[in-house]
Chain A
Amino acid sequence: MLTLTHFLVLSFLLFLIGAAGVLLRRNILIVLMSLELIFNAVNIMLAAFSYYSGNLNGTIFVVFNITVAAAEVAIGLAILVCVYRRRQTVYVDELDEMRG
């Protein structure tokens, strides 16, 4: 019998790995992929709560989440290609023009 805790722990682990990728890696493409991992962790949690509470609102939010994530990836990668053309780098710590 699967319980809510199973899904919560899986979601938590995926979120933590995604956060580690965002905070640790220098390559901005890997940072975007880690963002997708975080999105998926949140989606699992929404779907699990939706199922175990017998309420479909969470499921509909997962659908919207996936759509917004797709839009985010399209715009993020377009910005990334622009930045690469201008600066010839994909490392987040070299993109520090706006540093005060």
Chain B
Amino acid sequence: MEQVFFYIFAIVAVASAIAVISVRSAIHSAFFLAICLLQVAAVFVLLRFPFLAAVQVFIYVGAVMVLFLFAVMVLGMGRESFGEKFHGQSIPALITLAVLFVMMGLLIFSGKLTAPGGPYTEAALAHNTELIGRALYTQYIYPFEVVSVLLLIALVGAIVLVMRDKIRVG
């Protein structure tokens, strides 16, 4: 049963990801990206991380998608013709992607990527939201504070970058 849902989510995610990079209109790309991000949230639920799924939906499907749609509308992009879509380095790019495909396929199916056992058993992980909260506010409190400062910098930086008038100093 779990597997059936995984395949549904995975197929929709991969199909919408292909649609993101292949449709002509940027606004359609943005909506397909939202579908793909929702499927990733569902995959997090299958991995039994409800907190990650909630964060994914709030931040990606909420905030990031609104930013993308806003940018598409500000820039006023219409449809692109086929020739406009891809640039002149397509052949080397395709070779690179083919090499990447073969290398990562070999890596995954060689069976060498295994997960070693860690400190938590599956039963302990059942209440993992609480464990994540504890770790965030104890062991990872310093990165947590750094990330909040980073968000503040991003907020101020984005406003300063798009401000039309020059800032008067002094």
Contact = CB atoms under 8 A, between A and B. Distances in A.
| A and B interact physically | yes
Interface in A65-84: 66-75, 77-82, 84
A8 B71 contact: no
B151 A67 contact: yes
B86 A78 contact: no
B150 A54 contact: no
A52 to B, nearest CB: 4
Given A4-B114, A19-B100, A68-B147, A34 B20 contact: yes
Contacts of B77: 27, 29, 90
B151 to A, nearest CB: 6
Interface string A1-26: 11011111110111111111101111
Nearest to B37: A40
Nearest to B5: A2
A2 B17 contact: no
Contacts of B120: 54-56
B115 A49 contact: yes
Contact of B26 (A13, A29, A56, A79): A29
5 contacts: A6-B3, A50-B49, A70-B64, A74-B158, A81-B71
